[in-house]
Structure 1
Amino acid sequence: MTVTESATGVDLLAELEPVVEQNLNRHLGTAKEWFPHEYVPWSAGRDFDTEPWEPEQSRLSKDAQAALEINLLTEDNLPSYHHIIAERYGLEGPWGTWVHRWTAEEGRHGQVLRDYLLVTRGVDPVELERARMATVEIGYPGRGDDPLSAIIYVTLQELATRVAHRNAGRASGDPVAERLLSRIAVDENLHMVFYRSLMEAALHLAPSETVTAFDKVLRDFAMPGRGIPGFTRRALAIARAGIYNLRVHHDEVAMPLVRYVKVLDLGGLDASGAAAQERLGTFVTELDRAATRQTEQIEAAQAKRLAAAPITRRTP
């Protein structure tokens, strides 16, 4: 296979179509059927009109609430994501089959997260709905990627989402939430594997262009939920809790993908590709250092809060 014109345009999509079909068939053979209603503790539900929501009803910590709110509101933007990937890849042939299948699987995630949070009264349902309306009205802000960059971005994003869901489940303190989020993470991992396979094929077809795109995408990477109202506040809480921060991003997302596709070891690059490869190597080193600094800052802030906290003495 060869790239006939531009590796960042529609020709690459045509060249990748057999790889898409192969990995679509693998995905359909691997994915296990599951049902959202089986992951929700329905017996815990009460009517909101007779028993309004109160903060103390939540079984989740504040950090876990912030994580699940971001996870759900990110999933809520599915109509925008579907529109964008349909524009990038089209709705014909195996690309179109994948786009629809991916959308159907992602739709379950928002459904089951919302059901869980409402039934367990995990967050304020009024504020959650207002945030959903605002998020979907804004849509997904990242719309300028060419098809090659989009493949690389979604590979990173699906891996990051898998990690975020898994860590949020662990931090929730609720076995029901952990089981639910672990199941969602399985889907996200299969999506990541699909896109990662396309990225590997693109590295074979157009190594210099793909390395250059990878350098730019990783350098500019931001989760799709960044347009959510109150995202910065929630993201800081999640970072402090170790659910998703620079250390997690470096250790569990960026470096595993860099190592798996061997992008820093690739030879035969042209001058621009070799320069991008060098920049990428420098960037992941800088990311590691930034992650260490952030961890030190978080630990220092936590120590300061503990030192300032009043000492509770037992009454004799």
Structure 2
Amino acid sequence: MPGVHCRRIPPPTSTVRFSPISAVAAAPQKPQKTHSMPPEKQEIFKSLESWATQNVLPLLKPVKECWQPQSFLPDPSLPVEEFNEQVKALRERTADLPDEYFVVLVGDMITEEALPTYQTMINTLDGVRDETGASSSPWAIWTRAWTAEENRHGDLLKTFLYLSGRVDMLMIERTVQYLIGSGMDPGTENNPYLGFVYTSFQERATFVSHGNTARLAKEGGDPVLARICGTIAADEKRHELAYCKIVEKLLQVDPTGAMLAIADMMKKKITMPAHLMFDGQDRKLFEHFSAVAQRLGVYTADDYADILEALIQRWGLEKREGLSGEGRRGQDSCVG
């Protein structure tokens, strides 16, 4: 995992030269499907703008009520001696946390730092994208404000890791740059039906992951880090609620279309947002991170299955009516 080193290893003296590394991680080649939603269905999202204003936007918090990273970190405005004491206390609290814990914490932070990719992905979705960069559409307002709330997560974790002295920040920063440069194709096809199913799953997955890093930090003797991870997890839970509400509404106004979208994403399997994680050396970096997360119980294969089951229950897929024949086949695929 990038950056999880207690000391820097000197460069090898070998004269063997390695192949130049690309500026981005190579994405696996696969057919890319685009604009799969029929154009006429964009009208559904236009018709839901008033509903979104009343039911989705209230799940955002006013900026003045939001926590900020500085609330959890040493105060740089203090005299040098006091600031250094706060940094020393932070380092003492983290000293006994195992290296494997920092592997998953770094992995979570890198995932959060690739936020530009996620905003870009949402703005590929037909009918809900921010057409101007400052659109007054509730869909665009949500995306910008959601991004602003999420931005605090990576900022806080990155600064905490920097101050801990437990990680190699240069390798971490390179990994973040590679990941953002690589982008991602989660198979959402510019289709907001698929996109909102994807974000519903991912927000719940990050809630689970941050919740478990909070638990492990508390068990490891760092209550401040536990509070940091728990606070981030609470944000993810609130964001999950917003995306789940959108899918719920789509199931009401277009039950067959929404059911088929859910079945499609389940069939494809949800791609993790950081699956192209790369540090310039290890092409299997995400696999290694995932293995440690599985071993520590931070995010596991069982969690993936549990999230799917929770969404099926939340959206009441088993009892949904008003479906076409194709919609019922999609329903069987989801709940069968």
TM-score when normalising by structure 1? 0.78
Matched, 1:211 2:259: yes
2:276 to 223, 227, 239: 227
Q: 8 Å contact 1:203–1:210 — kept in the other structure?
A: yes
1:195 to 235, 243, 250: 243
Deviation, 1:72, is 0.9
Could you tell me how far apart the structure 1 residues matched to 2:161 and 2:56 are?
A: 32
Cα deviation per residue 1:51-96 (whole Å; 9 max; x = unaligned)?
xx9xxx8543233212111211111111121122123222231111
Deviation, 1:102, is 0.6
* Aligned residue number for residue 166 of structure 1: 211
* Aligned residue number for residue 314 of structure 1: none
Matched, 1:36 2:78: no
1:75 to 82, 97, 112: 112
Which deviates the most, 8-17 or 76-85?
8-17
Deviation, 1:121, is 2.0
Q: Which has the higher helix share?
A: 1
2:199 to 146, 154, 176: 154
Consecutive unaligned residues in structure 1, runs of 5 or more: 47-52, 283-316
* Aligned residue number for residue 90 of structure 1: 129
Could you tell me which amino acid in structure 2 is paired with residue 90 of structure 1? R
Deviation, 1:29, is 5.8
Cα deviation per residue 1:24-62 (whole Å; 9 max; x = unaligned)?
44214688421211112464537xxxxxx9xxx854323
* Aligned residue number for residue 20 of structure 2: none
Secondary structure of the residue aligned to 1:119 is: helix
Deviation, 1:9, is 4.4
Consecutive unaligned residues in structure 2, runs of 5 or more: 1-36, 76-84, 279-284
Which deviates the most, 261-270 or 21-30?
21-30
Identity of aligned residues (%): 26
* Aligned residue number for residue 121 of structure 1: 165
RMSD: 2.3
Which deviates the most, 25-34 or 265-274?
25-34
Closer, same or farther in 2 for the Cα pair 1:234/1:160, shift >3 Å? same
Matched, 1:130 2:150: no
Closer, same or farther in 2 for the Cα pair 1:201/1:130, shift >3 Å? same
TM-score when normalising by structure 2? 0.74
Closer, same or farther in 2 for the Cα pair 1:45/1:20, shift >3 Å? same
Q: 8 Å contact 1:138–1:227 — kept in the other structure?
A: yes
Aligned length: 268
Q: 8 Å contact 2:188–2:194 — kept in the other structure?
A: no
Q: 8 Å contact 1:77–1:140 — kept in the other structure?
A: no
Could you tell me which amino acid in structure 2 is paired with residue 10 of structure 1? Q
Secondary structure of the residue aligned to 1:231 is: helix
2:315 to 224, 238, 261: 261
* Aligned residue number for residue 19 of structure 1: 51
Deviation, 1:246, is 1.4
Deviation, 1:196, is 0.8
1:111 to 155, 160, 166: 155
Deviation, 1:116, is 0.7
Which deviates the most, 263-272 or 103-112?
263-272
Deviation, 1:21, is 0.8
Matched, 1:237 2:272: no
Could you tell me which amino acid in structure 2 is paired with residue 147 of structure 1? P
Could you tell me how far apart the structure 1 residues matched to 2:243 and 2:48 are?
A: 11
Q: 8 Å contact 1:85–1:99 — kept in the other structure?
A: yes
* Aligned residue number for residue 305 of structure 1: none
Cα deviation per residue 1:119-145 (whole Å; 9 max; x = unaligned)?
112322222122112112212332643
Matched, 1:176 2:224: yes
* Aligned residue number for residue 304 of structure 2: 249
Could you tell me which amino acid in structure 2 is paired with residue 95 of structure 1? W
* Aligned residue number for residue 102 of structure 2: 65
Secondary structure of the residue aligned to 2:308 is: helix
Could you tell me how far apart the structure 2 residues matched to 1:250 and 1:144 are?
A: 20
Q: 8 Å contact 1:19–1:198 — kept in the other structure?
A: no
* Aligned residue number for residue 50 of structure 1: none
Could you tell me which amino acid in structure 2 is paired with residue 156 of structure 1? F
